[in-house]
Structure 1
Amino acid sequence: MKKILLKISTVALALITLGCSSDDNVIDIVGANLSTDLPFLRITSQTGRSLNLFDTDSKYTVNFEYQEVENTSAMEKFERVDFSINFIDNFEDGVDNSKAAVAIGSMDKSDFSALSQFGMPIGSFDYTFGEALTALGLSVAQVNGGDQFQLNWELFLTDGSSINSSDVSGNISAVGGYYSAPYQSRASMVCLFDAPDFFVGDYQVEQLTGSDPFFGSETFGTQVVTLTASGPTQRKFNFLYYPGIFDSDYSFTMNFVCDRISMVGAINTGGLGCGGGNIGQTTGETPTFFDQNLVDDDEIILNISDFDGDGGCDTGSYQITVRLTKI
């Protein structure tokens, strides 16, 4: 099996280490002595990695740059790129609707008609939620929030060889740097809604059940917090963890994933644990649902896994319930 290997100069490596990137974009840096044993197809940007369950026209797009010879438009070894898509059912309802990969399209030389700022061929590929459903033989009813579609691609060369996700590793397969060529990418299903005032404002927090494993106290206690919209389907608030004992500064993030809420809590400043990281919170074992009509935000009871992770305290996680009441 062929492996892609990189030869990177010390200067180029320093530039990559110091560069900045986001989740959807990679750094556009070309090192002075960059070379590869084989051509490679890198991701330059992606959009639509969150597909809207309410819109079959919602689209995922990935933009590529092809490199065969450094800083040139040569495509002498290029034959085509074939794409396939598979479905990953992450919804725990006792039914597994996961689907193996099926073909969903291809790109040839004519799809790389433009050149990048580095003089190398660029092109893009996209699919809609509806096209993914048709290719895989799925219905909208079989898809839930948090499920994923994985797009896979394979680069075919004129000598009959090919390169796919099993042929790359390390810096080549990692998303987020110049050498971003994983040959696969996932888009997750979400339910986008436009309700900027929903679950926003001041709320009283009351812990209803559960106590910590050390002091027998309530780790959330009773306090007033302010919920803010940090995205169309995300709400955050800061709170004091172990109020009256440690008063640790924590943030709590709620993601509205279609009919339920996923959660994560993490410390903002300082540290709180037993020498093995910080104590955190995640989504509870019992789902937390919310009003699908986006009207009733007066009260919600969150089911939370506290001490997840447990900060090296060897307690494991435990379940608590916390009520938020709008003031």
Structure 2
Amino acid sequence: MSTLRPGFRIRPARFSDSIVMSKVYVDAISHDAFILDSLFPERLTQPEEFALRLKRFFWRRWWTPGWEVDVLVDERQTASVEDKESNKDQDNNKQIDADNKKQNNEGVVVGFAWWKRPASDLSFRERWLTPFAWFAPVMRLAIYITSLIRPTRAIPSAATHPLFRKIEALEEVHLTPSRPWFYLSLLAVSSSLQGTGLGSTLLRHGLDRIDAKADSTGIDTTPTEATNTPPDSDSKSKRASSHKNKTKTKNEAVSDSSSSQQSKASGSACYLVALKGLEPYYHRFGFTQVGRANTGELSAWEGGAFMVREP
């Protein structure tokens, strides 16, 4: 089980956290500027447009069933709205602090992990009989209408950016269709706290939860040839490749050879696309590289390892 350092806690995110999360996201992945500029080319020349488009990206994802996010909160920090007004020229972390304290008195959001659950993990009640299920379509429509009133570039998706198309192709090749897969889409911790073990605790928290869910429900994570898991509604993955072609491609893929340091994966299967230089980090949690997303139009990107963690 994951153990947090004193002064920090992990909780489920609230919609009101989304603006602060978007700022943490930019701060956290600033070391991998290539992919950030590729997704949001206007971020330096049109900062207001970039901020609005990123917020809409987060909002739409928030109101899409199947996505869930944990936030890491620093309870030691006590920035106020007044601090925000008097320190507008301070660094990005202090801006994050001020915005978050405007929402509540519970500390500052300094990191988050955003997971996509497999379609088979959503119950009938979650799909149709909860307040979220009722309000989500309305909120997505509202986001769409506001984008017509105040247009920006299209929100990054498989239809608008090669990264998401490459992820779809890798999903089809490397993910066993009959097995439910969890997707770690984003793991972000403020740059000032990176290297302190907090990101690892946040990641372990999510892995423990999905593994416990598999154990408690008795989900059979052994692949079969009987049925296909429904596709991810956000990425619209088809995952229709045969097991034979998948095995062939896996044999041709690059994988990390230092498996002696790899922790044993148990419970649910999951996957991710790593940023630059993070392959060894994820390998410690049982993830193995099976392919690359940095090909073709993204060949200049130093990140892009497609990594899976199987029971």
TM-score (norm 1): 0.21
Larger helix fraction of residues: 2
Larger strand fraction of residues: 1
TM-score (norm 2): 0.22
Bigger relative CO (Cα 8 Å, ≥ 6 apart): 2
